[in-house]
Structure 1
Amino acid sequence: MTKKISTDVLVVGSGPIGSLFAHDLHAKGKNVLMVDAGPQTAGRYGEHQKNSFLYQRNIDEFVNVIKGHLHPLSVSTRSDIPTTLDPSAYHYDAAEYAGFVLNNQNPHQKEEDNLGACAATYAVGGMATHWTCAMPEFNEALERTWVDERNNKATYPLSKEKLNDGYTHSTAALKRTTEAYRHSARHQLVKKVLNQDAGFQVSELPLAVERRKDQNEHGHQEFVTWSGADTVLGELADPAWKKGSGDADFKLQAEWQATRIELEGGSADSAARVKSVHLRNLRNLNETAEVEAKAYVIACGPILTAQLLYASELDKKLKLPVGKYMTEQPMAFCQVVLRQEHLDDLEKHLGQVTGEGDKKFAQEAKKRVETYRAAQRKILDEHQDNSRQAPADPIPFPKDEPEPNLYIPASTKRPWHCQIHRDAFSYGAVPPNIDTRLIVDLRWFGLSRPRASNRVEFSERYREGDTLKFRNVDSFDMPQPTFHFQLTKQERHTAGEMMADMVRVASHLGGFMPGSEPQFLVPGLPLHVAGTTRMGRDDANDGKAQVKEERDHVVTPTSRVCGTSNLWLGGNGLHPFGNASNPTHTSMAMAHVAVQDVLSVLKTNTQK
């Protein structure tokens, strides 16, 4: 039995973008139902798991948490049988069963076209349960400007004023800051070496984080609170929240999956509207629901959002280029161990720091280092014959000194985003015999431009009676995605320049750590796919459900799906020109603009 649910707004997806829609619309008195196919993994809805004491004390322990939450989306199959397999074990002719899919192993996926590391996180909070929290703005001349292959200059769909207003709102919603790590001796050393000694233009990486006020046994504010979807939701992130007098309703349903969007109406002169969205309970597949709302928001990430549109045949009904114009970033990575002389001369480096703000922090850091080094030397002097019972620390950085968090912003001169920091990823683990205080990670993110040939396709649709089905499905019974992605000759050349730039920067810091020498990572690993539901503008046709030719964009500048009156999308899939910088901050800004449109539509409909 399918139960009927009514609400003002249905939000599908509970990451920071969906949470912004939910929080801001609820704050304006709208009843909001939010659903997510993933489970709740923390006490608060969508809390960053790196806030755990253990992971802040040892960031490398967090690597396996990330790996466990990344669900590969398309894995090319291998038909060869391991040569050491017991000959008596069951086997079959792979050619005879060429179309079979298991665990997202995709027989249609060519390895050379794949974004092999592209993944989704099924959890309340989405990837913000384990993200880096980097929040740079898009560079206006690079990422908000695009000259296509025909030398046509495209205009960014959002005005500078609206985007800046969105950035301001995003900054407050996710507690964006550049100050949380500036006091660190490790941070100031790396910045001084790269800026004053080497002549680079390194600055603080904007992060969604807040340093905690509590102090450890040494009187230092060691810990931080990383922002996640719970930060955006505010008081709504507490599962025990109850509405007060005059409050609108809010409910978050974990492990409820949206399977289909149902349209009605629409013509060559008017927009269609979403009639309802169908859900199923993943804890009880016999339980389904049909949600009727006044407004619908889909914010499930760039691939899963496109997947739901395709599963609902919106690409066909509205002639939307769902999955096309996909972009992703080539990514270079290395880790260095800080050079001996940098540590030997640490106090000297810190004493030479100049610049407004930095000098004060560096002088304070210098005092901490001098005190710590002297204390360790005293331990050595007093216990030379018994060092195992009174061990001294050979590293001059105090153990609770925070890691560096720096970047070189993307620009037309350097069309890649450069992060110089220490964090946990699904790669780059540090050997246990190397002190992590000596390690600096360098991650350089490149840029690809949109073209229709770079795309994610979904498994063929067919009907059995009135039931829509798919030839191959993923783990959630949705159409299997297949990637087709290649860099152009120019993009490959630029990626080579990016690698050389990273090596130049790294050479000033130290030597490469074995196993983490300069390398390009598996395509898709940045997890910054964009363009699959891209934003654009066609004032003559955006409001029409029926158009003659396929559109070149999926949503309008207000994130409303073209040809619809009450459906909005959110997330990285909307970015239309490709990006080198981390996209979350700009996705949040777009969502803020979209919220104003949702409120306008709801107000207009109420007045009718």
Structure 2
Amino acid sequence: MGIDYQPESTTIRTDVLVVGSGPIGAIYARKLVEAGHKVLMVDAGAQETEIPGEHKKNITDMTLNDFSNVIQNDLTPLSSSMPSAAATLAIGGMSTHWTCVTASPHPNLEAPKLFSESKWNSLISEAQDLLHTNSTVLDASTRQDNLKNFLNASGHSFKSTPLACQKDENGKVIYSSTASILSPILSSKNFTLLPHHLCTNLHNQNSKVTSASLTSLSTNSKISVIAEQYILAAGAVLTPQIIYNSNMSQELPALGRYLTERMVAFCQIKLDKKFSVNDGEVNIMQGASEGKKWVTMINREAHQYGQLPEDVDSGDVLDVRCMSVVEPNVENRVEFGEKGSDGMPTPSFKVSPSIYDMKLAAKMMVEVQSLATTLGSFVTEPTIMPLGTALHLSGTTRAGESVETSVVDSNSKVWGVDNLYLGGCGVIAEGMACQPTLTAVGYALQGAEGVKTALSA
């Protein structure tokens, strides 16, 4: 792997380079700084909040429609071949506007097979603590309790949605993000954050990364970073893009393949009057099961879709959403072509849902329609959303047991490269219905242990 390379004139030395400032990069940075290591974090995006990576809900009061517009403006489409797939190029990444849903993966359907049950439970428990996950933030909502009890009495199994947030001393909900993860290390002399710096490629000799090339997007100057360990946590598309641009793809046949994304069935309903008389917010979910391989959520949230017409009273409107497990398929992939103006190869997607995936989608539509008609009347008709809408692309740098079918091992270390680790939803090998962030954090915690061991050695 690799190409001949001479370091640029401007050089930065550090123990660890972390590329990407989303919650996964932040987890790596925090764990390594707390262990006494020097970490440089870089991101191509700007710092848009006073505290780096703050959730924008924490700093502004907006209607859900207005916040949906914020999300739309923050999303950068990744490719015309899947227009709904997008990334957020900013310090904090998608954690600046995510819904904070942190449900645990189903132990048989979604949990990684690379870890023992006890090991994975330990990783998930730590991930929940770091993200401040709880299911009690809406306990005071009588509407939520009544809806949950009504549905469960008819054979469902809805629970309060686990959310990454906590209440401050005034009772305000503070949503978790990169800012809350990094808060203990932001003032550390061992932590440096560089916004507006694009990592274009890594240089590899003798199965070891020797340096990384950065471009300052503010000055267009070139910087070389020399580190002991390198971590790419730039998302399920931009991470393999950097690896591809580093001439490493030939030795990693699974790179960009096994791409998974959730199928989404969605509608909006106006609650029946017998429910609308109750007060409080609603956020409940029913997890995937062996006989029903999808997650069902009932809430009212801001997404890049689902805005209500201005003349519709939003007070009694709820979203009903189902997201299904999509089985990994080696042919579903992201590929990279000619370089764009930023010097990076252009991504394109080749993804086709299987017959099995489409059958699940049809069953989800039945569930959405049944719940909608049970609870109220349609505001928007049920529909299968375009692929990529969930913004949960996974699998493109998947973890596994061999280089033939995966990109990283159980420690998220790239096969054949001694000091390169990956993070994010790309490492998730299993098809998942639930939101993948918590699972990605679990992988990152294990990866951070691998990096710490390597640094100690």
Corresponding residue for residue 303 of structure 1: 237
Give yes or no for contact 1:534–1:575 (8 Å, CA) kept in 2. Answer: yes
Q: Deviations over 1:145-172 (max 9, x none)?
A: 7xxxxxxxxxx12222222111111111
Where does residue 342 of structure 2 map in the other structure? 476
Whether the aligned pair in 2 keeps the contact of 1:203 and 1:408 (CA below 8 Å) is: yes
Deviation for aligned residue 1:186: 2.7
Q: Distance in 1 between matches of 2:375 and 2:169?
A: 32
Structure 1 residues without counterparts, runs of 5 or longer = 76-113, 146-155, 215-220, 244-248, 266-271, 347-396, 460-470, 543-550
TM-score, with structure 1 as normaliser: 0.72
Q: 2:104 aligns with which of 119, 123, 137?
A: 137
Please give the residue correspondences for 1:58-457 in structure 2 after superposition, counting only pairs within 5 Å: 58-75=63-80, 114-144=81-111, 156-196=113-153, 198-214=154-170, 221=171, 223-237=172-186, 241=187, 243=189, 249-265=190-206, 272-285=207-220, 287-316=221-250, 318-343=251-276, 346=278, 397=279, 401=280, 403-457=281-335
Residue by residue over 1:496-525, the C-alpha shift from the partner in whole angstroms, topping out at 9 and shown as x without a partner, is: 011111211222211010xx2101111101
Contact 2:165–2:173 (CA<8 Å) still a contact in 1? yes
Rg comparison, structure with higher value: 1
d(CA) in 1 for partners of 2:259, 2:353: 11
Letter paired with 1:264: Q
1:496 to 362, 368, 392: 362
Q: How far did 1:435 drift?
A: 2.6
Residue 51 of structure 1 deviates from its aligned partner by: 1.2
Alignment of 1:453-472 (within 5 A): 453-459=331-337, 471-472=338-339
Deviation per residue, 1:195-251 (Å, 9 max, x gap): 23x33110011110112321xxxxxx3x311100111112334xxx253xxxxx110
- What is the alpha-carbon distance in structure 2 between the residues aligned to residue 306 and residue 509 of structure 1? 44
Cα distance, 1:431 vs. partner?
2.3
1:45 matched to 2:1: no
Deviations 1:459-507 (CA, angstroms, capped at 9, x unpaired): 0xxxxxxxxxxx342x633111110001111211111011111211222
SS at match of 1:20: helix
Q: Is the 8 A contact 1:314 1:320 kept in 2?
A: no
CA deviation vs aligned residue, 1:525-552 (integer Å, no higher than 9, x gap): 10111110010013xxx6xxxxxxxx21
Of 396, 401, 415, the match for 1:537? 401
Unmatched 5+ stretches in structure 2: 1-7
Supply the AA of the counterpart residue of 2:142: A
CA contact (8 A) 2:412 2:444 kept: yes
Structure 1, residues 22-72: CA drift from partner, whole Å, max 9, x if none?
Answer: 0010000000000000000101111111113412xx222101110001101
Whole-Å separation in 2 of the counterparts to 1:434 and 1:188 = 25
Higher strand share: 2
Structure 1 partner of 2:453: 600
C-alpha distance in 2, partners of 1:289/1:165? 39
CA distance in 2, matches of 1:573, 1:72: 17
SS of the equivalent of 1:284 reads coil
Range with bigger deviation, 161-170 or 66-75: 161-170
Pairwise CA RMSD of aligned residues? 1.4
**In the comparison of the two structures, how many residue pairs are matched?**
450
Structure 1 Cα separation of the partners of residues 392 and 249 of structure 2: 22
SS in 2 for 1:132: coil
SS of match in other structure, 1:482: strand
Distance 1:288 1:230 in 2: 28
Give the match's secondary structure for 1:508: helix
Shift in Å, 1:320 = 3.6
**One-letter identity of the residue aligned with 1:14:** S
Q: Is the 8 A contact 1:558 1:590 kept in 2?
A: yes
Please report how far the alpha carbon of residue 289 of structure 1 lies from its aligned counterpart in structure 2 after TM superposition. 0.8
Contact 1:193 1:509 in 2 (8 A): no
CA–CA distance in 1 between the matches of 2:84 and 2:376?
29
Q: Distance in 2 between matches of 1:413 and 1:131?
A: 29
Distance of 1:587 and 1:327 partners within structure 2: 14
Residue 184 of structure 2 aligns to a residue in which SS?
A: helix
Supply the distance in 2 between the matched residues of 1:172 and 1:484 (Cα, whole angstroms): 37
State percent identity of aligned pairs.
Answer: 34
Which runs of structure 1 show a deviation greater than 4 angstroms over 4 or more consecutive aligned residues?
none
2:143·2:276 contact (CA, 8 Å) conserved in 1?
Answer: no
2:447 matched to 1:569?
A: no
Kept in 2, the 8 Å contact 1:193–1:508? The answer is no
Q: Distance in 1 between matches of 2:119 and 2:90?
A: 31
Q: Matched residues in 2 for 1:598 and 1:319: separation?
A: 21
Question: Which residue number in structure 2 is paired with residue 507 of structure 1?
Answer: 373
SS at match of 1:172: helix
Find the aligned partners of 2:276 and 2:161 in 1 and give their Cα distance. 23
TM-aligned CA deviation for residue 601 of structure 1: 0.8
SS of equivalent residue, structure 2 residue 61: helix
Q: Secondary structure at the match of 2:259?
A: coil
8 Å CA contact 1:194–1:508 kept in 2: the answer is: no
Q: Name 2:4's counterpart in structure 1.
A: none
- The separation in 2 between residues aligned to 1:416 and 1:498, in whole angstroms, is 8
Q: CA deviation at 1:575?
A: 0.8
Does the residue aligned with 1:10 lie in a helix, a strand or coil? strand
State the distance in 2 between where 1:123 and 1:342 align: 40
- Which of residues 409, 417, 422 in structure 2 aligns to 1:556? 409
- TM-score computed with the length of structure 2 as normaliser: 0.96
